Amino acid sequence: MSSFVSTIARFAPGDNCPTAYDRSHLSLYAALLDADDAGHDWRDAAATLMGLDVTEADAEACWRSHLERARWIISDGLAAAVAAFGERPEQIA
């Protein structure tokens, strides 16, 4: 695993509409989902993919908020994300 982004917010967006932050972090979201599905420890994913210092008090909360946002994007938020990001559903692989 390797780091995808250099700027990570303390917490991922929590509102019910996709944001510019979401769009710029889609590859991170995908990698977090892959790592979680593969059973990787949160500390490995947080350190490697997000560049977090996992010894910091809020590191797990930061990682968890981004993983939960990734799950929202691919489920309840998918239609809104497709509309916001300007892609037609048939173009999504």
| Per-residue confidence in pLDDT tens, the chain, 93 aa | 555 556 899 999 998 999 989 999 999 999 999 999 999 999 999 999 999 999 999 999 999 999 999 999 999 988 888 888 875 545 544
Write out the two tokens for 91.
Answer: 């173009």
DSSP, res 41: -
The whole-number pLDDT of residue 92 equals 47
Residue 71, phi then psi, degrees to nearest 5? -65, -40
Distance between CA atoms of residues 5 and 63, nearest Å: 13
Helices (H), the chain: 20-24, 26-37, 42-50, 59-73, 78-85
